[in-house]
Structure 1
């Protein structure tokens, strides 16, 4: 896998590393079905990208990401920089404010406000973030054009969530996952744990006895904490790490 330094060699680590960290957080929360504004927002990502663009325009990068007092006006000011690529002058400065604001005041004070916008907003955030990161890689890369193209293409791919939910039922959409993996992925979307009978309904095992044996094995391996008497199970840190490893190929390291 191509290193971050080669993908964005001109960007200092103090900005490059937070950029990738925030991007991966956005994608991972989306894949895990965490769609609420507090869990999946492009605000910090936008601030980091703005800082990179401002540093490129001035020729001097700040030592850490900065948040302009007036984000829209600050982005508009970037349009006066005629020395960089057109995407840095027009496209990104105009796209960032939309991404920055997309999760604010949604579902409040307008007709149809009882319709939950979380999934469509989260999808927009992920799609915009991928396009923005791919554009930064396209401009800043120091690898071969072929390697850069492959990386840009991989970033731009649209991933569906690993978990679908209507608020009651949950389903793992990747049917290639084994039973134990499906259990862990589902529990990763339940910070407070889940009822065993509900989890069984989400997994839809061919054999409930086999499902319970799998749960006990995960408990023995300390991936989950299982309390059959209380009908409760929750993810433990080793289980969360296993889910992170499962998601890693879908992220950009």
Structure 2
């Protein structure tokens, strides 16, 4: 089942923008575009608000509408006692926080006091993911697990360079050089990664050359290689190169 099918109760004029903005958040996050990811989060909030408001009233707007006072408008949604609890309390209380990241965390305004960063983008992505799953759960009357599976499939199709499984990651371009693969795998992984996992994910067989390349990248300050060679962590220069490479590929 697709998200399109699961959300057919939502009019096309709202459903299509919702899917487009969610996919934009996922794609920009995967490509380390923290600022666009957060900007999409703001648009995503406006669309979700319009859907909740239309659901409560029984009549949907033909397109997303931004209320004049977003916080207050979300607060008023809490008066809708006839809708599911998540539509009355949880999502209306989450949306203002998500919208705040777009407005007052350095996103969308020059000279913000806090620059857009990975931490904010993680919040936008995880919040958007939860909201999407809850919309699917309510509108299609499925379990939380089924709803999350449906949303996860939508996210997976928006990551052209990288596939992430339970214990495996794969760069989907078989022609990509080993150095680039290492940087991309490290920049999209949280914290230190075992070098045995890196070699396995890259599908590389020559252990001697792989270790030699890791040491070279360590000396170039692209990665931080543990003294025993057991783990690797990407450093800012390596992260910058990976981000630029992703941007060129997209």
- TM-score by length of structure 1 reads 0.59
Deviates more, 1:32-41 or 1:21-30: 32-41
2:148 maps to what in 1?
152
- Structure in which a larger fraction of residues adopt helix: 2
- Distance change >3 Å, CA 151–CA 42, structure 1 → 2: same
The runs of 5 or more residues in structure 2 that have no matched partner are: 163-167, 185-201, 203-208, 214-243
1:58 maps to what in 2?
57
Aligned residues between the structures: 182
1:11 aligns with 2:10: yes
The runs of 5 or more residues in structure 1 that have no matched partner are: 164-172, 187-202, 209-232, 241-253
- Report the Cα distance in structure 2 between the residues aligned to 1:51 and 1:22, rounded to whole angstroms: 14
Of structures 1 and 2, the one scoring higher in RCO (CA 8 A, sep 6+) is: 1
Asked if 1 retains the 8 angstrom alpha-carbon contact of 2:67 and 2:73, the reply is: yes
1:180 aligns with 2:175: yes
- Distance change >3 Å, CA 103–CA 71, structure 1 → 2: same
1:136 maps to what in 2?
135
- Report the Cα distance in structure 1 between the residues aligned to 2:123 and 2:246, rounded to whole angstroms: 29
- Report the Cα distance in structure 2 between the residues aligned to 1:84 and 1:37, rounded to whole angstroms: 32
Cα deviation 1:102-132 (Å, max 9, x = unaligned) = 133326787xx5xx55100000000000000
- Distance change >3 Å, CA 7–CA 21, structure 1 → 2: same
- Map of 1:54-133 to 2, 5 A cutoff? 54-106=53-105, 116=115, 118-133=117-132
Deviation at 1:8, TM superposition (A): 1.1
What SS does structure 2 have at the residue aligned with 1:63?
A: coil
- TM-score by length of structure 2 reads 0.59
